[in-house]
Chains A and B, each alone.
Chain A
Amino acid sequence: MENAILIGGIGGQGVVMFGKILTFTAAEVDDKYVTFFPSYGVEKRGGVSNCYVTISDNPIGAPMADDSNVVVVLNDLAMPKFEKTLVPGGVLFLDSTVCALRPTRTDITVVEVPATEIAREIGSAKVANLCMIGAFIGFTEALPPEKVLETAFSKLGAKHPEMNALNEKAFYRGMEIGKAAKK
């Protein structure tokens, strides 16, 4: 089973961190192969940013697959282009607080996550990213949730340990939404 995940948004939203958290976690899980490929502009903030994560039971040939099984859209800029890459029956996650656009395809599952709104409620818009990751994990069950949080704590908590509690809260709120969308 090869799971090709495409994450898109703009610089500063944590697109690359989203991909790295999945990648580092998958590398910790036995018998899983994983690749990560980032693609972004020269801007530190505000430019188009996206990354490809592939998690597979077999060695990975194409780290930047033509077709995605899962797409995560954090900004309208990513919507039109990325929607097209989904396989029929694929899943599209979107931050419904930030995105005004909605996918036009009817052969895919759409999971709307008001991640930024939830993050603000919790106390910091910065944790919207963990909320999206939670929704992704809740729906796909691609990786063990506790392992994902462990990675997030070690990658993000090293600099900002005070954010760990907020990130954890956001992650589980997102997971609820992901799980609920699956039913």
Chain B
Amino acid sequence: MERVVMKGCEAIAEAAIRAGCRFFAGYPITPQNEVPEYFSRKMPKVGGVYLQGESETASAAMLYGAGCTGIRAMTSSSSCGISLMSEAIAWMAGANLPVVICNVMRGGPGIGSIQPSQQDYFQATKASGNGGFRMLVLAPSTLQEAVDMVYSAFDLAMKYKNPVLVLADGFTGAMMEPVVLPPAKSEEFLAAERKENEAWACTGRKGAAQRHHLGCGVVPGMATRMPLEEKNKLDFAKYESWKTTEVDYEDYQTEDAELIITAYGVAGRISRSAVDLLRADGYKVGLIRPRKIHPFPEIAFEKLDYSKLRGILSCEMSIPPQYYYDVDAVVRRRTPIATCLRSGGEIISRNAIIEEAKKLYGAK
């Protein structure tokens, strides 16, 4: 296992290549420029394809094409760039394609700012395009998690034949931290997977019947079109199945906690250290930090003993809050929920989290 110091965006790209990603198309946008830059240098060395499209729209459409061929393929962008890609993302979700998308979030809405934020929670978890499709959404809080999540994202995409979104933020993308890199998937493994995918992929038909990946009832691997409603039902069943197979969260010091701090991504790591400082000060505080924000880890909140709780503090780098509403929906007023928020490129402050937590906690 190699331990190296890497920049977040570079670690994301390296992890993708090690996971077997052999196609990347993208378009420059801060703060994720080092992702395509890294791919541009490394892809030729592993026999992969790097393409800079003429726009985000084109790059995402290129990914759609690559995804149809059954290889491991990816794009990345940031916030407003992801908005531009959302048409193709919906098409890829409709066509059940195993692609990976990375969003290194910046300020919003619209052009927002180039600085870090968590302003795309709704876009990522609810509606990244038309048609009500869902994606698995992985939210790393450290560089090690970013590496591990990107690495697993390709397996998940293949397993479920569904786009997987890695939702990072500009802070995680720009910071440096030592990471342990996973071993590269072997060429034999990738070749076997491509062979298996020939059952549904577009690989050149030489006069045989054409294959379509359109999502309008034409499902990979199926010879005939099915009614769209049937296809929608299949997708729905898949999304529902994730609630039992893909829930992933960190439960930290919650057992005797009288106050829960909850956050994801970069706000999650900062909140975790706030819990340590509050504990050292005699406050019984715990943390719930989703590693996947879709499916949302409802169980983490359902299993809390509300008779013991003084409240929940929901922290995120988004104003108005977004993650908060998913917490609110599962807590259903069983305990007060307060928020600690930043936006506009400002990084959430540990001191502010501690202060809000103490306010909500009341007397020790």
Q: Tell me the A residues contacting B by CB distance below 8 Å.
A: 20, 23-24, 27, 33-38, 59-67
Q: Are A63 and B175 closer than 8 Å at their CB atoms? A: yes
Shortest Cβ distance from residue A33 to the other chain B in the assembled complex, whole angstroms: 8
Closest 4 CB pairs of A and B: A61-B273, A36-B176, A66-B351, A27-B178
Separation of A67 and B142 alpha carbons in the complex (Å): 21
Separation of A33 and B179 alpha carbons in the complex (Å): 11
| New A-B pairs, 5, CB < 8 Å, besides A24-B5, A35-B176 | A37-B171, A38-B174, A61-B272, A61-B273, A61-B274
Specify which of A24, A37, A61 lies most central, judged by the most chain B CB atoms within 10 Å of its CB: A61
Q: Are B175 and A37 closer than 8 Å at their CB atoms? A: yes
Shortest Cβ distance from residue B7 to the other chain A in the assembled complex, whole angstroms: 9
Shortest Cβ distance from residue A109 to the other chain B in the assembled complex, whole angstroms: 23
Which residues does chain A contribute within 8 Å of B347, judged by CB atoms?
64
Separation of A137 and B272 alpha carbons in the complex (Å): 30
User: Which residues, 83 to 141 on B, are CB-close (under 8 Å) to A?
Assistant: none
> Could you jot down 11 A-B contacts, CB within 8 Å?
A20-B176, A24-B5, A27-B178, A34-B177, A37-B175, A61-B271, A61-B274, A61-B276, A63-B171, A63-B177, A66-B350
Separation of A67 and B176 alpha carbons in the complex (Å): 20
Shortest Cβ distance from residue B308 to the other chain A in the assembled complex, whole angstroms: 25
Q: Are B273 and A36 closer than 8 Å at their CB atoms? A: no
> B55 in the interface, Cβ–Cβ < 8 Å?
no
Q: Are A27 and B270 closer than 8 Å at their CB atoms? A: no
User: A23: which of B5, B270, B351 is its contact (CB, 8 Å)?
Assistant: B5
Interface size class of B (residues with CB under 8 A): 20 to 34
Shortest Cβ distance from residue A18 to the other chain B in the assembled complex, whole angstroms: 13
Q: Are A36 and B177 closer than 8 Å at their CB atoms? A: yes
B1-18 contact mask (Cβ, 8 Å, vs A): 1 or 0: 001110000000000000
Shortest Cβ distance from residue B317 to the other chain A in the assembled complex, whole angstroms: 12
Q: Which residue of chain A lies nearest to B8 when distances are taken between CB atoms in the complex?
A: A37
Separation of A65 and B171 alpha carbons in the complex (Å): 13
Q: Which residue of chain B lies nearest to A24 when distances are taken between CB atoms in the complex?
A: B5
Separation of A63 and B175 alpha carbons in the complex (Å): 8
Q: Are B270 and A62 closer than 8 Å at their CB atoms? A: yes
Shortest Cβ distance from residue A86 to the other chain B in the assembled complex, whole angstroms: 14
Which residues does chain A contribute within 8 Å of B174, judged by CB atoms?
37-38
Q: Are B273 and A60 closer than 8 Å at their CB atoms? A: yes
Q: Are B3 and A27 closer than 8 Å at their CB atoms? A: yes
Q: Which residue of chain A lies nearest to B272 when distances are taken between CB atoms in the complex?
A: A61
> B243 in the interface, Cβ–Cβ < 8 Å?
no
Q: Are B178 and A34 closer than 8 Å at their CB atoms? A: yes
Which residues does chain A contribute within 8 Å of B4, judged by CB atoms?
27
> B339 in the interface, Cβ–Cβ < 8 Å?
no
> B231 in the interface, Cβ–Cβ < 8 Å?
no
Shortest Cβ distance from residue A155 to the other chain B in the assembled complex, whole angstroms: 11
> B269 in the interface, Cβ–Cβ < 8 Å?
yes
Which residues does chain B contribute within 8 Å of A64, judged by CB atoms?
171, 347
Q: Which residue of chain A lies nearest to B266 when distances are taken between CB atoms in the complex?
A: A63
> B349 in the interface, Cβ–Cβ < 8 Å?
yes
Shortest Cβ distance from residue A34 to the other chain B in the assembled complex, whole angstroms: 7
Q: Are B176 and A61 closer than 8 Å at their CB atoms? A: no
Which residues does chain A contribute within 8 Å of B171, judged by CB atoms?
37, 63-64
Which residues does chain A contribute within 8 Å of B271, judged by CB atoms?
61
Which residues does chain A contribute within 8 Å of B276, judged by CB atoms?
61
Q: Which residue of chain A lies nearest to B4 when distances are taken between CB atoms in the complex?
A: A27
